[in-house]
Structure 1
Amino acid sequence: MSKVILITGGSSGIGKSIGEYLKQHGFIVYGTSRSPEKYANHPFKIVGLDVKDVSSINNAVAEVIANEGQIDVLINNAGVGITGPIEEIPEAEIKNNFDTNLFGPINVIKAVLPQMRKQNSGLVLNITSIAGYMGLPYRGIYSASKGALELLTEAFRIELKDFNIYMANIAPGDFATNIAAGRYHEPLKKDSPYKKYGSVLKDIDDHVDNSGDPIAVAKTVLKVIDTKKPKTHYKVGDFMQKFSIVLKFLLPDKIYEKMLINHYKL
């Protein structure tokens, strides 16, 4: 029997790439969007879900279970980017980022766990970010929200071990998606003391525009689904992006910090 996959944020970008790839490999795939009516001709079915609305989450999960009788894999992919000097980002935008990137995934996980326990099987994959392994300048809020999700998974894995439910993080680097279009970025202010923010923002956008195909993330997702006992952490990106995490754990803090400063020309 085909496994049933639920992907939050499956309407575009990495989520769409994952969904198309899994459907091609015989899975039953559901994606989510706050506006499902826009995706009548999508490659896979889209259900309505707003990760910041618990009722919306519960209704979407109930719809999938009603249709298929099961949910085998949850992929927490919905997320938003945010850039800017931490001092200047409005509190409301910081809260919105954590609501989407952290509290939303927590609530979707809570919604699927009773069904997975009932099945005595399940897999949750959290799409985090290589940025979640380090505090990146002018991306500090994004790093923090994704880093928190990484740690949450470590705790969840231990709590779920008796129920035959597994959880893993997949941390992508930069991939060519439309994430910049939906990202909040603090406007460049003429009177801001953070004069170097503009050059860092341009560097971030250039990296996304010139990055690889998100199919690499989809292939890693399939690999993890086919793994009997998944690891906690998987990284997907170019060599230097993944190696930066290794250096983070090997080098003294001040030397690693200096490397980041040099990289961003700060």
Structure 2
Amino acid sequence: MKKVILVTGASSGIGLACANALQSDGHTVYGSSRNLANMKSVSFKPIELDITDDTSVKNAIDKIIKAEGKIDVLVNNAGDGISGPSYATPVEVAKKQFEVNFFGVVRVSNAVLSGMIENKNGLIVNVSSIAGLMGLPYVGFYVASKYAVEGYSQSLRMELRSSGIKVVLLNLGDFSTGFTGSRSKSPFTLNDAKLEADYNTVLAKIEKDETAGSDPSMVGKKISKIVASSNPSHRYLIGKLGQLISVPLKRILPGGLFEKSINDYYNIK
């Protein structure tokens, strides 16, 4: 059955790959961006939407409902990242990270869920990260925002159990996208050479891994299968095995040993 689908953050990277794959499947796909100038020559329907703005979200959802009568699937993909020492990041900077990565998800979900509940049918796909399942150094507030998406998604799924609406989490490893170049990097402001060296070392390793990450089309193929499924799983881990294996390892290893293995990977001694 062909569906009406909204993919947020569809101008590039993961969102673009998802929107293209779903459009190829014959669905009616709306892909959003804050700036439609970034959405030239796309195969799906571009729509302006700023996930941090209530009015922008309402206007976009109303426009889709007016044209299509419903939204069957929401893919909450839009997000960004910051890096910096968790012990010195200003609260206002941390709030901005949550405004996009967490409250943006809540804002768009709220806007579509009333219609889904009325129709007793729908699918919410929240794009998270393996960073939503474990702490990682020097991207602490990105990690925290993804942990929030995890808890919200699980609670939402419980609340909607009898509604016919499914809630799915995608925990992604590293993918080669523009996310790396657009990350906001907080300057190191403390007078501590060792910690500053750690910060620079970790950030270089993170960027190297992302640059060598998987092709976003992998996520597009997976989301096509999820949307086609009548009973999707609660969670999908997507990426290179070497990264995804850390998820079960966290369950198996003692906490101290697991954290040491992460620090060793990032050369924090």
Pick the TM interval, shorter chain: over 0.9
**Structure 2 partner of 1:67:** 67
CA distance in 2, matches of 1:204, 1:112: 34
Match of 2:240 among 216, 238, 241: 238
Contact residue 23 and residue 44 of structure 2 kept, 8 A: yes
CA distance in 2, matches of 1:192, 1:215: 42
Structure 1 stretches of 4+ with a deviation exceeding 4 A read none
Q: How does 1:205-244 map to 2 (within 5 A)?
A: 205-244=207-246
* Aligned-CA RMSD value: 1.4
**Structure 1 partner of 2:184:** 184
SS across alignment from 1:89: coil
Shift of residue 187 of structure 1?
Answer: 2.2
Contact residue 88 and residue 186 of structure 1 kept, 8 A: no
**Structure 1 partner of 2:115:** 115
Q: How does 1:64-213 map to 2 (within 5 A)?
A: 64-189=64-189, 191-193=191-193, 194-195=195-196, 196-213=198-215
Shift of residue 171 of structure 1?
Answer: 1.0
SS across alignment from 2:75: strand
SS across alignment from 2:232: coil
Shift of residue 44 of structure 1?
Answer: 1.6
TM-score, normalised to structure 2's length?
0.95
- C-alpha spacing 1:240/1:38, structure 2 compared with 1 (3 Å): closer
Shift of residue 90 of structure 1?
Answer: 2.2
**Structure 1 partner of 2:17:** 17
Alignment gaps of 5+ in structure 1 = none
* Deviations, residues 108-141 of structure 1 (Å, cap 9, x unaligned): 1110011112222100000000111111010111
SS across alignment from 2:224: helix
Contact residue 174 and residue 212 of structure 1 kept, 8 A: yes
Aligned length: 266
CA distance in 2, matches of 1:223, 1:42: 22
2:252 aligned partner, one-letter code = L
Larger CA deviation: 62-71 vs 221-230: 221-230
* Deviations, residues 128-157 of structure 1 (Å, cap 9, x unaligned): 001111110101111110111012111111
Larger CA deviation: 190-199 vs 5-14: 190-199
SS across alignment from 1:162: coil
CA distance in 2, matches of 1:131, 1:217: 17
Larger CA deviation: 43-52 vs 186-195: 186-195
Alignment gaps of 5+ in structure 2 = none
Contact residue 83 and residue 186 of structure 2 kept, 8 A: yes
Contact residue 11 and residue 38 of structure 2 kept, 8 A: no
Identical aligned residues as a percent = 39
CA distance in 2, matches of 1:138, 1:152: 23
